[in-house]
Amino acid sequence: MRRSGMNLRKWLMNTFAVPVLRRMPIDRATNFVESIGRWEYDRVPELRRHIDQAVAEAAQRMNASWDLSTTARNLSGRLTRWRLRDVLLDGPDADRALNAFEIVGGEHLEQAMAEQRGVVLLSNHFGGHILPAHWMLRKNLDFRFLTERPRHLSKSLETYFSSTGTMGQQEMFVSRKKKGNDGVASIIRSLRVLKSRYIILVASDVRWLDNQSVTAQFLGEHWKFTPIWAILAQRSGAPVVSVYCSMLPGGTHRLEFAEPRHIAPNADISELVQQELRQIEARVLADPENANDYFFWALDHSPAAAELRVITPSTDTSKSMPSPHFGIESPVLRK
């Protein structure tokens, strides 16, 4: 969808719909937002074609047996919900927000925090990627978000993110406009934050280009990813806890915390990044309606995406050679 259309929709949503939705119970409001996304899918041919193509190509690359039209329509609903970030959880009532979460493995995060070495909380863009931050805010946990500055957040999270100073969130935001040793400064700053026993929320699936980036395969293509989470865990000794936030059909969210683990000092960083991406791929395969923007990566041929895409013989789509990770036989090799 064209950017101008996206912006108009976002403006209409934030100006007129969100204030009304915030007065509704969170699950009803969320379901309503999803229904808007499905309504758009049914009535906007351009959007429908785009999503259909993305889902069909992803299914082919992953050898998935999804019901394509149902997946595409529901994905359209989830995309609308995903774009609202944590806005529907906003408000003074913490319990109202916390009740929108189903927590699985919360003891794993507690176990990691008990080590008192900080925690690398490893998130991703599967499901609601901002929601773990909102949950931690409501639980009064000390955390920092190592990421580009996210936009269109709830007022609660915006306020939390406005902190400055040595441990401030403002200083934790990173930029793709590289200069000097920015990457080095970011690692040193994050290590300082971990040393102060904060949780650092960082995503494992961020495509990024700097001199630490590693190439890894994801959904049938090779991309450059930042390995900063692995570097931090390796250098700090802090436990790593993976977290997934699935957007559930009933308008609620499931946060699943995996068991804490430690990264060995001699571990292969590239392999760590690849392993984590394989975990996300397995989630996508099982639950494509929570895949959000992943399916659109392959359709993105912008200069920015081209910088991050790594063309290898196995990812040259012109030869229809899909990911060997999914065990798909290449038509080229079959000949």
Partner 1 sequence: MNEIRREELYAVIRQAAKIPAHVLINDSSRFVQDLGVDSLDLVGVLLSIQDNYNFELTDDEIGAIASVGDVLNLMAQRGLKLSAA
Q: Residue 175 interacts with partner 1 (CB under 8 A)?
A: no
Q: Residue 207 interacts with partner 1 (CB under 8 A)?
A: no
Sheet with 253-257, edge to edge strand ranges: 101-104, 253-257, 240-247, 119-123, 199-203, 143-146
Shortest CB 264 distance to partner 1, Å: 16
Instruction: Determine the size of the site formed for partner 1 (CB under 8 A).
Output: 19
Shortest CB 94 distance to partner 1, Å: 33
| Region 154-173 residues binding partner 1, contact defined as CB under 8 A | 171
Q: Residue 180 interacts with partner 1 (CB under 8 A)?
A: yes
Q: Residue 181 interacts with partner 1 (CB under 8 A)?
A: yes
Q: Which stretch binds partner 1 (CB under 8 A): 11-19, 33-41, 176-184, 254-262?
A: 176-184
Contact at 8 Å (CB) between 276 and 122?
yes
Q: Residue 264 interacts with partner 1 (CB under 8 A)?
A: no
Count each helix (H run) and each strand (E run) in the chain, helices first: 15, 9
- Which of 128, 183, 239, 322 lies at the binding interface for partner 1 (CB under 8 A)? 183
Shortest CB 185 distance to partner 1, Å: 4
Residues 6 or more apart in contact with residue 211 via CB below 8 angstroms? 183
Give the SS3 label for residue 207: strand
Q: Residue 182 interacts with partner 1 (CB under 8 A)?
A: yes
Q: Residue 202 interacts with partner 1 (CB under 8 A)?
A: no
How many CB atoms are located within 10 Å of the residue 163 CB?
13
Q: Residue 192 interacts with partner 1 (CB under 8 A)?
A: yes
Nearer to partner 1, 98 or 269 (CB): 269
Q: How far is CA 36 from the centre of its chain?
A: 22
Contact at 8 Å (CB) between 101 and 255?
yes
Angle between helices 45-62 and 26-43 (to 10 degrees): 100
Q: Phi and psi of 146, rounded to 5°?
A: -90, 100
Nearer to partner 1, 89 or 187 (CB): 187
| Site residues for partner 1 per CB under 8 A | 171, 179-189, 191-192, 210-212, 231, 235
